[in-house]
Structure 1
């Protein structure tokens, strides 16, 4: 049974079904859970949320009022000094950073759950049904938690897609890229939530595209391209009739193909006419698209993609693009690099303290032209004299499956 109570009456053990007011003002990435953590209870009471709905069949109910009894004469008691207060409880620490290898397994599980959820959500959109943004919150929350533990793991795995699941997993990947970029830019948590949700929903209009056009393995004709260019507006139409879809998600859906120089679509907006979030969405959308295997093209390598994007003058906000490069790394995971010694290596994980000194796996000698025993090397470790002198295009070496150097369980 559901019961509405003031947020001030919340207690541990209650099953939180929903919160009054805009979900963007809530202190949680999710709803529908048992209040078991004192930190969550404190955050709820400090959030300003006026009221909550609890399910008393799944958790505790409000304590009944104490019975009123006849007044009695108060007994005389000895007055003693109150004991000195003990130390204040320590604040709940943030989730500790996980090592790359440990987080890969958890990130893979998050991706699998996200794939199922987004596939179901988008199939509903394909049938013309309105989107309920609240069902997206657990997806955004899990992705954000994985990014907090180790951003390299989730972002790297999200880049690996098959041609068949690109449409759905592209939205999951852009969600992660948007959250990571928002955090790197120092945006408050509320805006990071909005960014992630907007990334998850930005391409929902593609569900209204004909499948023969959406999945065409070759180049589109002019008429087919015109149809595809309508997906931002078709997505906006789906979202505007949805439940609890914030304005930011609507804006990013409609304008993530606008360009700073005004040559984008659908409205040819330019410069500051494009919102901050839409400019962020434009960068994240393109990066994931060109680094992914799609029905009509093979993936470009991550660092090479950043290099090409940097040359597309007038397409991206330069300040946002610079921040994006720092959020994914100058040499993103999976990049083939040449070391000062002449050896080749694949980047495994970013080093937040030094973007030019990631962890790499060395596997090939350019001097001998032969493979060498694989070695994991932290270029930021004290005493390490090795350094990166530049990226190497994988196609120049005919190397295949470079991702196996950092991903122990590659998808076939």
Structure 2
């Protein structure tokens, strides 16, 4: 049962269901959690919120006048599986195998696509967008990336032309979290970066559909129209609820370039925030690796190599961290080995970016498929000698080799 109570009645052991006030006015990432720590209770009482909603089926009720408030130990025992709210928690280390995490990643891809589609629909109807409603999804995406950075980031790259607009936002969300983690940002900042990634293209909801969905390259005039989407997205977010300064900044500036030639304001590098610089890299990578109405997506390894040659486009230090977060040969890359075999990358080796784990499946010597073999190149005498273009080889089931059934579960 839900109850609304004033802040002075909140105590350790209660389960907060909702906070009566905007997200930016309170110090917690999650708005639903069990209060275990007196320090969290103190932060809540200092927040200035009007009150909170509690769920007495998951935690303590309002204490009778003679009741003694529970200690943190007894509160923890009352609901041991509830997450503790932390204002700036560090992300946990990756702890899930790719194949295990892909199952959850597929679910999140579906949920994310539905959430973004709904959000774009609300914006097209002129209704206010509530960024705060996306927090549970972003939190789940961040948790997945923290467990295994390669799973959701790689699976979200696999889009159809029809779902590109919505899945692009999900992919950039995951990429932003992974990049933030590589840059050493605290967990709360990584999640805020993820929310910014999810909302960064909201302005496309205000673009003419015939331009947005054009099955060919845009004309100069049409591109001028599309270049307005950062400004329109910023307007929509300002008129809505729950968008922080980081979210607004990334929406407005993710197309600015490090050399000052971007849009909409041609900002010099010293006026582009770190989060916007992160957004620029993540947005471009997902765009060039995705199938679009007018072109097929590039191979992930080839995309990294090409982006590295675009002088002036990205902040060099941010791009370097981005490469480390994905790997020189990202998951799903087709590579040729010194042994004369072809393989697809399945896991990264953070200690050696040129020696990932791969699945070997084809022999160039016999020009025939071979029994699939998992090979950790960090523990093998074999090595990668080149990246290969999957389209040139025409392997129809390359994605299934590294992602398995998750390829079909994601949509």
Same fold (TM over 0.5): yes
Q: 2:115 aligns with which of 114, 117, 121?
A: 117
Q: Which has the higher contact order (CA 8 A, sep 6+)?
A: 2
Q: Supply the distance in 1 between the matched residues of 2:306 and 2:324 (Cα, whole angstroms).
A: 16
Match of 1:3 in 2: 5
| TM-score normalised by the chain length of structure 2 | 0.87
Unaligned runs of 5+ in 1: 68-88
Q: Supply the distance in 2 between the matched residues of 1:206 and 1:403 (Cα, whole angstroms).
A: 29
**Distance verdict in 2 for CA 1:104–1:265, change over 3 Å:** same
Most deviating of 241-250 and 302-311: 241-250
Match of 2:388 in 1: 392
**Distance verdict in 2 for CA 1:325–1:104, change over 3 Å:** same
Q: Supply the distance in 2 between the matched residues of 1:5 and 1:141 (Cα, whole angstroms).
A: 25
Unaligned runs of 5+ in 2: 68-76, 78-83, 85-90
Contact preservation (8 Å) 2:92, 2:147: no
Summarize the alignment of residues 12-411 of structure 1 with structure 2, pairs less than 5 Å apart: 12-18=13-19, 22-23=23-24, 26-28=27-29, 30-33=30-33, 35=34, 38=36, 41=37, 44-45=40-41, 47=43, 50=46, 53-55=52-54, 58-59=57-58, 60-66=60-66, 94=92, 97-381=95-379, 384-409=380-405, 410-411=407-408
Query: What CA RMSD, in Å, does the superposition of the two structures yield over aligned residues?
Result: 2.4
Contact preservation (8 Å) 1:163, 1:295: yes
Shift of 1:190: 2.8
**Distance verdict in 2 for CA 1:388–1:185, change over 3 Å:** same
Contact preservation (8 Å) 1:133, 1:243: yes
Segments ≥4 residues shifted beyond 6 Å: none
Aligned residue for 2:369, secondary structure, equals strand
Shift of 1:327: 0.5
Shift of 1:5: 2.1
Contact preservation (8 Å) 1:24, 1:190: no
Q: Supply the distance in 2 between the matched residues of 1:42 and 1:294 (Cα, whole angstroms).
A: 51
Question: Greater Rg, structure 1 or structure 2?
Answer: 1
Shift of 1:50: 2.4
Q: Supply the distance in 2 between the matched residues of 1:126 and 1:339 (Cα, whole angstroms).
A: 49
Q: Supply the distance in 2 between the matched residues of 1:42 and 1:119 (Cα, whole angstroms).
A: 40
| TM-score normalised by the chain length of structure 1 | 0.86
Aligned residue for 2:214, secondary structure, equals coil
